[in-house]
Amino acid sequence: MRLVKKLLFRVLFYFASVLLGLFFVLPLLWLFVTPFRSDPSLAVRLPANPTLQNFIKVVNNAYAMRAFANSAIQALGSTFLVVMLAALAAYALSRVDLPGKGIIVYILILFSSVVTGIAAMVPLFFLLLQLGLIDTHLGIVLAFSGGFLPTGIFLMKDFVDSVSLTYEESAVVSGASKVQIFKDIILPLIGPGMVVVAVFTFAQIWSNFLLPFILLRSNSKMPVSVAIYTFTNEIGMPKIGLISAYSLLYVVPIISLYIFTNRRYGFKFYGGIKG
């Protein structure tokens, strides 16, 4: 009786796992097979004659490549700004007894979850218009930085808090100067935290569609997320081969970052922090 029950549970476990696995994998299959087909279509077919032709088309498409560069500029620029400023702010919040710092952190987290791209798109558009930053990389970078800094500061502060102050004090007593302490002690110790914040910020900005869709106008500045979307309408017919290959290339940095963080730090999970 017990054995039967146990067996039943095992069968149920495998059945449920396989079903859920299928649920997650089926919609993605198309993405991974189509780019290698010589006759790309909306159907999922294993490539009869695997080809890299679609990728070559992407590489030869100036607009597509330009969009890659734009994505890189915007995502890397914002990430750099977020990581640097978040590290400075988090260090100050963690190490110095500032009046009302609990409130500051609370307000930052509150606003970063309340003011989403949707809720702020109208004023953000006009703000950049007034500042002359509409349709510029800088405008996008600043808008993203403002949005991601609170979470960056929050993550970074947690990290700095976990690094014991005695490392710095020990260096002070050893006779190190402020610059030496920063370079030799603080930076290496909080470096991993900065990497985590960087990966987290980069991945989200790289994928973001809404802000560039609203804040950019000219094709020459569009990141991949918007560029892919416009491929459909270019000649009335979607270029399936091109789109699928381009999509796959676009996904590569995200998947690599995931594998990298997973290997290096274990995919640390920060409850309640995304977008």
Rounded least distance, CB 244 to another protein, Å: 8
Instruction: Choose between 11 and 25: whose C-beta lies nearer to another protein.
Output: 25
Instruction: Choose between 45 and 52: whose C-beta lies nearer to another protein.
Output: 45
Instruction: Choose between 10 and 56: whose C-beta lies nearer to another protein.
Output: 10
Instruction: Choose between 65 and 101: whose C-beta lies nearer to another protein.
Output: 101
Rounded least distance, CB 63 to another protein, Å: 15
Q: What secondary structure, in 3-state letters, does the chain show?
A: CHHHHHHHHHHHHHHHHHHHHHHHHHHHHHHHHHHHCCCCCCCCCCCCCCCCHHHHHHHHCHHHHHHHHHHHHHHHHHHHHHHHHHHHHHHHHHHCCCCCHHHHHHHHHHHHHHCCHHHHHHHHHHHHHHCCCCCCHHHHHHHHHHHHHHHHHHHHHHHHHHCCCHHHHHHHHHCCCHHHHHHHHHHHHHHHHHHHHHHHHHHHHHHCCHHHHHHCCCHHHCCHHHHHHHHCCCCCCCCHHHHHHHHHHHHHHHHHHHHHHHHHCCCCCCCCCCC
Rounded least distance, CB 163 to another protein, Å: 9
Rounded least distance, CB 165 to another protein, Å: 8
Rounded least distance, CB 134 to another protein, Å: 13
Instruction: Choose between 54 and 145: whose C-beta lies nearer to another protein.
Output: 145
Instruction: Choose between 29 and 52: whose C-beta lies nearer to another protein.
Output: 29
Instruction: Choose between 59 and 120: whose C-beta lies nearer to another protein.
Output: 120
**For residue 106, which amino acid is it?**
Y
Rounded least distance, CB 192 to another protein, Å: 10
Q: Any residues with CB less than 8 A from the CB of 223 and at least 6 apart, and which? A: 67, 70, 71, 74, 75, 212
Rounded least distance, CB 126 to another protein, Å: 7
Instruction: Choose between 65 and 84: whose C-beta lies nearer to another protein.
Output: 84
**For residue 93, which amino acid is it?**
L
**What are the backbone dihedrals phi and psi of residue 47, each rounded to the nearest 5 degrees, phi first?**
-60, 125
Of the candidates 221, 207, 71, 209, the residue with the CA atom closest to the CA atom of residue 134: 221
Q: How far apart are the first and last CA of the chain?
A: 50
Rounded least distance, CB 55 to another protein, Å: 15
